[in-house]
Amino acid sequence: MRFVSAWMVGVFLAAGISLPGAVSAAPALDANYGVGSWIWDHQTYDRQECRFWKSFEIPRGVSVKSATLRITADNFYFVFLDGQPVGQGADWRVLIEYDLSQLLESGTHVLAVDVSNDFDVAGLLVGLHINLADGSVIEIASDDTWKIAPRNVTDWKQRTRAPAEWPSAKVLYPFRPEDNKQIYQAPVSQPVVISFWQRRWFQISTIILCVLAAACSLFLFSRLILKSRMERMVRRERARIAADLHDSLGGGLTQLVILGDASKRVISNGSVAVDTLDRLCDQTRNLVRGMNEAVWLINSQRDNLRDFASYLGKHAELFFHDTPVRCRFEIEKNLPALPCDISVRRNLFLAVKEAFTNVLRHSGATEVRLGVRQERNGIRIIISDNGRGFDPSAVDGEGNGLANMKHRAAEVAGTFGIQRGEEGGCTVTLGAPLQFKGSRKSLRKTSRTNP
């Protein structure tokens, strides 16, 4: 590296000639070693740390042709350019030269050096020589224009302006060539490649996304807790209503039946009042059965597959008890107690009742089979009889309650199918998921009908 000596500048200035782009009338760099003076804090003590700061500016639109930094310290130093580490050293008798050509461009830059000493003597020696493409030169030497950053300042390496309270460095003594005779050239400093995940915009965006994700998670978690609490409240209320209906209304209807039977024994046979009491008792018994069904549907403790299948079997047994139709059961053994939504239980139960009514009124069957089994996350019910079958033209009509069964299956996004046997009779198949929550419109769109 070829440096501009001080006496050459003086000759040019005395002759009235200025160097192109020269920034100083009297360069402070040593002509041979290219450094300034030894500088330090105004006080020196053992194991002291000094943080030296210097900013400089490269004119806008001018590129850097070459930039050389020579530095040493007594005893340890770390040098930074614009907050990025450049190098370090620990031998005051050796000048280390750094090539900063690829790190500098037009604009304001900050040269920061963190120096520590061992005992007694301390000092920093710096020289930066920059050749610009337009022929001008910038020289920065260690002198009293450097600032000392306080220990409590964290961003001192990146600051482009020094506060007024920052003290200036003290010039200890000028550089003496006999102090440093060796110059070591460090590898060329390369620009620091910052990955996108290390950039501030990415980190800020990531933090914002994490905060939003945490907020959404908390919101959904609170909704889940609220929903769970509401479901528990609904189950408790359903259990209370079922108990109240069974205890109060059921007990009252049962007493009416008992009073009616007792009144018939008092009144003589053949009386008109006896017929009236018979109809009253029959109607009351029907109300009791309907109330028991309502209590079973409302009771939240019965919202499972096992109890649903058991109740269907009991209902079939009572329904065909006083009829010539024999009922056989093909209910899958060891059905799990999987949750079965109240809407599924209600619609499938009403569809099964409609199928039993059709068997009893229209089929002329002597035997009916009821099958219940689990399929994946759903339930399938099969009702078959040995009657006279059905007229296929009536399947799409309004007869025999088929439209009602289709509607019940569609209400829970289930399936409905009816098939005539080869030797007579017919088979009704009902299927539905154990749990399905949605609007009636969506249920009807997703249901399937298998005629």
pLDDT of 208 strictly over 50: yes
pLDDT bin (cut points 50, 70, 90) of residue 420 is confident
| pLDDT confidence of residue 16 | 34
| pLDDT confidence of residue 393 | 58
Mean pLDDT of all residues belonging to the chain: 80
| Cα separation, 436 vs 179, whole angstroms | 89
Strand pairing partners for 257?
Answer: none
- Name, in order, each residue with C-beta under 8 angstroms of 156's C-beta and a sequence gap of 6 or more: 51, 53, 112, 149, 150
Q: State which of 261-265, 303-307, 406-410 shows the largest mean pLDDT.
A: 406-410
| Cα separation, 438 vs 410, whole angstroms | 12
pLDDT digits (tens, 9 = 90+) for 94-142: 999 999 998 999 999 999 999 999 888 899 999 999 999 999 999 999 9
Q: State which of 9-18, 59-68, 240-249, 330-339 shows the largest mean pLDDT.
A: 59-68
**Superfamily name with CATH number, domain 6-192:** Galactose-binding domain-like (2.60.120.260)
Say if residues 174 and 31 touch (Cβ distance below 8 Å): no
Arithmetic mean of pLDDT, 48-65: 94
Looking at the chain, the whole-number percentage of residues with pLDDT higher than 70 is 79
Phi, psi of 77 (to 5 degrees): -145, 155
In angstroms, how far apart are the furthest CA atoms of the chain? 152
| pLDDT confidence of residue 114 | 96
| pLDDT confidence of residue 443 | 38
Tokens standing for residue 174: 């000028």
| HSE-up (13 A, CA, CB side) for residue 407 | 9
Q: Right CATH number for 303-451 from 3.40.50.800, 2.60.40.1080, 3.30.565.10, 3.40.50.1820?
A: 3.30.565.10
| pLDDT confidence of residue 19 | 40
Length of the chain: 451
| pLDDT confidence of residue 132 | 94
379 versus 238: the higher-pLDDT residue is 379
| Cα separation, 115 vs 123, whole angstroms | 8
pLDDT digits (tens, 9 = 90+) for 218-245: 999 999 998 888 877 877 777 777 666 6
Three-class DSSP labels, the chain: CCCCCHHHHHHHHHCCCCCCCCCCCCCCCCCCCCCCCEEECCCCCCCCEEEEEEEEEECCCCCEEEEEEEEEEECEEEEEECCEEEEEECCCCEEEEEECCCCCCCEEEEEEEEEECCCCCCEEEEEEEEEECCCCEEEEECCCCCEECCCCCCCCCCCCCCCCCCCECEEEECCCCCCCCEEEECCCCCCCCCCHHHCHHHHHHHHHHHHHHHHHHHHHHHHHHHHHHHHHHHHHHHHHHHHHHHHHHHHHHHHHHHHHHHHHHHCCCCCHHHHHHHHHHHHHHHHHHHHHHHHHHHCHHHCEHHHHHHHHHHHHHHHCCCCCCEEEEEECCCCCCCECCHHHHHHHHHHHHHHHHHHHHHHCCCEEEEEEEEECCEEEEEEEECCCCCCHHHCCCCHHHHHHHHHHHHHCCCEEEEEECCCCCEEEEEEEECCCCCCHHHHHHHCEEEC
158 versus 198: the higher-pLDDT residue is 158
| Cα separation, 266 vs 199, whole angstroms | 99
